[in-house]
Structure 1
Amino acid sequence: MYIAGVLIVAALVVFWIVTRFYLRGVSLTRFDAPIPVSFDAEKPSAAMIGVNKYLKENFTMGERLSVKRERFDQGGLVRDFGCTFRSQVAVFDGVEVPGEWTLVEGYAPNKRLLYLHGGAFTVGSPLSHRPITANLAKKTGCAVFTPDYRLMPENPRMASIVDSRAAYQWLVENGPASSEPAEKIAVAGDSAGGNLTLCLSNWTRDNGVRLPDAVIGISPATDTSATSPSIRTNFDTDVMLKPLIAPLLKLPHWLLLWGSWKVNGIRPASKLISPVRDNLAGLPPTLIHASTAEMLYDDAKRYVNKATVQGSPVKIQSWPHMCHVWHIFDEMLPEANVALDEIAAFMCKHGVSNDVSKSTA
Structure 2
Amino acid sequence: MLWFLLALLLLVIAATYFLFRVEDLSHLDDPHQPFRGGPPSDEHRYVLGRIRELGQSSRGLRGKARLQALRTHMDALSDGLTLESEFRPVSHPRGEWVIAPGVDTRRRALYIHGGAWAAGSPKSHRAITDRFSRIANAAVFAVDYRLMPEHRYMDGVRDCRKAYRWLLENGPDGESPASYLLIAGDSAGGSHTLGLLGWIKHKGLRQADAAVALCPSTDLTLTAPSNRANIQTDPLLGPAFGGLSKVPLPVIWWATLAAFRVSPLSPVASPLRGDLHNLPPVLIHASDSEMLLDNARRYAAKARAEGSPVTLHTWSGMVHVWHIFVPKLPEAEEAFEDIQAFLQEAKSDQSANEARAAQS
Matched with 1:93 is none
Cα deviations by residue, 1:316-354 (Å, 9 ceiling, x for unpaired): 0101100000000113310001101111222233339xx
Q: How many residues align?
A: 342
Match among 312, 319, 322 for residue 316 of structure 1: 312
Q: What is the DSSP-based 3-state SS (H/G/I as helix, E as strand, rest coil) of the residue aligned with 2:244?
A: helix
Structure 2 letter corresponding to 1:70: T
Correspondence for 1:70: 72
With 188-197 and 12-21 compared, the bigger mean Cα shift is at 12-21
Which residue type is aligned with residue 202 of structure 2? Answer: D
- Contact 2:54–2:70, Cα closer than 8 Å, also in 1: no
Given that residues 81 and 127 in structure 2 are in contact (C-alpha distance below 8 angstroms), is that contact kept between their aligned partners in structure 1? no
User: Does residue 15 of structure 1 match 2:12?
Assistant: yes
The Cα of 1:207 is off from its aligned counterpart by 1.0
Aligned residues of 1:184 and 1:351 also touching (Cα < 8 A): no
In the alignment, which residue of structure 1 is the partner of 2:233?
Answer: 237
CA contact (8 A) 1:172 1:182 kept: yes
Cα distance in 1, alignment partners of residues 82 and 49 from structure 2 = 24
Structure 2 equivalent of residue 113 of structure 1: 109
TM-score scaled by length of structure 2: 0.90
Q: Does 1:334 align with 2:319?
A: no
Deviations 1:31-57 (A, max 9, x none): 11335224142x332222332233134
Equivalent of residue 211 in structure 2, options 188, 201, 215: 215
Amino acid at match of 1:28: L
The separation in 1 between residues aligned to 2:79 and 2:104, in whole angstroms, is: 25
| Aligned equivalent of 1:28, options 19, 25, 40 | 25
Offset at residue 30 of structure 1 (A): 1.5
Structure 2 distance, partners of 1:119, 1:220, is 11
Answer whether contact 1:186 1:347 (CA < 8 A) is retained.
no
Distance, in Å, in 2 between the alignment partners of 1:350 and 1:176 is 24
Is contact 1:115–1:188 with CA below 8 Å preserved after alignment? Answer: yes
Specify whether residues 163 and 35 from structure 1 end up closer, same or farther in structure 2 by C-alpha distance, changes over 3 A only.
farther
Give the Å deviation of 1:71.
1.1
Please say which of residues 164-173 and 28-37 is displaced more in the overlay. 28-37
Shift of 1:225: 1.2
SS, match of residue 342 in structure 2: helix
Runs of 4 or more, structure 1, over 6 Å off, are none
Alignment partner, residue 83 of structure 1: 85
Partner of 2:271: 275
Q: What SS class does the counterpart of residue 242 from structure 1 fall into? A: helix
Greater RCO (Cα-Cα under 8 Å, separation 6 or more): 1
Compute the RMSD of aligned alpha carbons.
Answer: 1.9
Residue in 1 aligned with 2:351?
none
SS in 1 for 2:171: coil
SS of the residue 1:118 aligns to: coil
Correspondence list, 1:143-182, <5 A: 143-182=139-178
Offset, 1:11: 4.5
Query: Contact 1:37–1:320 at 8 Å: present in 2 too?
Result: no
Q: Take 2:126 and 2:213, find their aligned partners in 1: how far apart are those partners?
A: 17
Using the TM superposition, give the Cα deviation of residue 76 of structure 1 relative to its aligned residue in structure 2, in angstroms: 2.3
Q: How far apart are 1:88 and its partner, in Å?
A: 1.4
Query: Take 1:161 and 1:182, find their aligned partners in 2: how far apart are those partners?
Result: 22
Deviation sequence 1:174-220 (CA, Å, 0-9, x none): 11112111111010000000000000011111111111000111000
CA deviations on 1:275-323 (whole Å, 9 max, x unpaired) are 0000111111111000011000000000001111111111101011000
TM-score, scaled relative to structure 1: 0.90
Secondary structure of the 2:130 match is: helix
Q: Is the 8 A contact 2:40 2:318 kept in 1?
A: yes
Inter-partner Cα distance in structure 2 for 1:27 and 1:306: 12
Unaligned residue ranges in structure 2 (runs of 5+): 349-360
User: Residue type of the partner of 1:16?
Assistant: I
Matched residue, 2:202: 206
Unmatched runs of 5 consecutive residues or more in structure 1: 91-96, 353-361
Instruction: Measure, in 1, the Cα distance between the counterparts of 2:32 and 2:344.
Output: 25
Q: Is the 8 A contact 2:41 2:330 kept in 1?
A: no
CA distance in 2, matches of 1:323, 1:261: 28
Shift of 1:12: 3.7
Distance 1:283 1:342 in 2: 20
1:136 aligns with 2:136: no
Do 2:35 and 2:288's aligned partners in 1 also have CA atoms closer than 8 Å?
no
SS across alignment from 1:51: helix
Residue 167 of structure 1 aligns with an amino acid whose one-letter code is: A
